[in-house]
Amino acid sequence: MRFKSFFIASSLFLGLTQLCYGQAGTIVGSKHDFSLSNNTWNFTTPITAQLQGQICRPCHAPHNSNIRDIAATGYNNNNAGAFGPLWDHSLSNASYSIYSQGYNFWREGASSVGNPDGSSKLCLSCHDGTVALANFRTFTTATTTMAQFDGGVANLGTDLSTTHPISFTYNTTLATTDHKIWDPSSTPSGVHSGTIQSDMLEYDKVQCTSCHDPHNAAGVNHLLIKSNVGSALCFTCHKL
Site string for ligand HEC, 11-50 (x = CB under 6 A): ----------------x---xx------------------
Does 98 bind ligand HEC (CB under 6 A)? Our answer is no
Q: How far apart are CA 16 and CA 220, in angstroms?
A: 17
Integer distance in angstroms from the first to the last C-alpha of the chain? 49
Judged by beta carbon, residue 66 or residue 209, the one nearer ligand HEC is 209
Q: 4 or 107, CB closer to ligand HEC?
A: 107
> By CB neighbour count within 10 A (0-12 exposed, 13-18 middle, 19+ buried), where does 140 fall?
exposed
Burial 141-171 (b: 16+ CB within 10 A, else e): ebebbbeebeeeeebbbeebeebebbbbbbe
Within 10 angstroms of residue 102's Cβ, the number of other Cβ atoms is 8
Binding region for ligand HEC (CB under 6 A) out of 5-13, 14-22, 43-51, 204-212: 204-212
Nearer to ligand HEC, 15 or 81 (CB): 81
Which of 148, 171, 227, 228 touches ligand HEC by CB under 6 A?
228
In whole angstroms, the minimum distance from the beta carbon of 186 to ligand HEC comes to 14
CA triplet 206, 210, 214: central angle to 5 degrees?
Answer: 130
Q: Which residues contact 28 (CB under 8 A, 6 or more apart)?
A: 55
Collect all residues with Cβ–Cβ distance below 8 Å to 138 and sequence separation of at least 6: none
Q: Is the C-alpha dihedral spanning 127, 129, 131, 136 positive or negative?
A: positive
Using the contact rule CB under 6 A, the part of the chain among 14-22, 68-76, 90-98, 166-174 near ligand HEC is 166-174
Residue closer to ligand HEC by CB (options 12, 62) is 62
> Residue from 51, 55, 91, 132 that binds ligand HEC (CB under 6 A)?
55
* Residue 14 C-beta: closest distance to ligand HEC, Å: 21
- Per CB under 6 A, does 51 bind ligand HEC? no
Helices marked H in the chain: 2-21, 47-51, 67-73, 101-108, 120-127, 172-177, 196-200, 232-237
Q: How far apart are CA 191 and CA 73, in angstroms?
A: 30
* Nearer Cβ to ligand HEC (10/172): 172
Binding residues for ligand HEC, rule: CB under 6 A, are 27, 31-32, 55-56, 58-60, 85, 89, 103-105, 108, 110-111, 119-120, 122-127, 133, 149-150, 153-154, 156, 163-166, 170, 174, 178, 181, 196, 200, 206, 208-212, 214-215, 222-224, 228, 233-234, 236-238
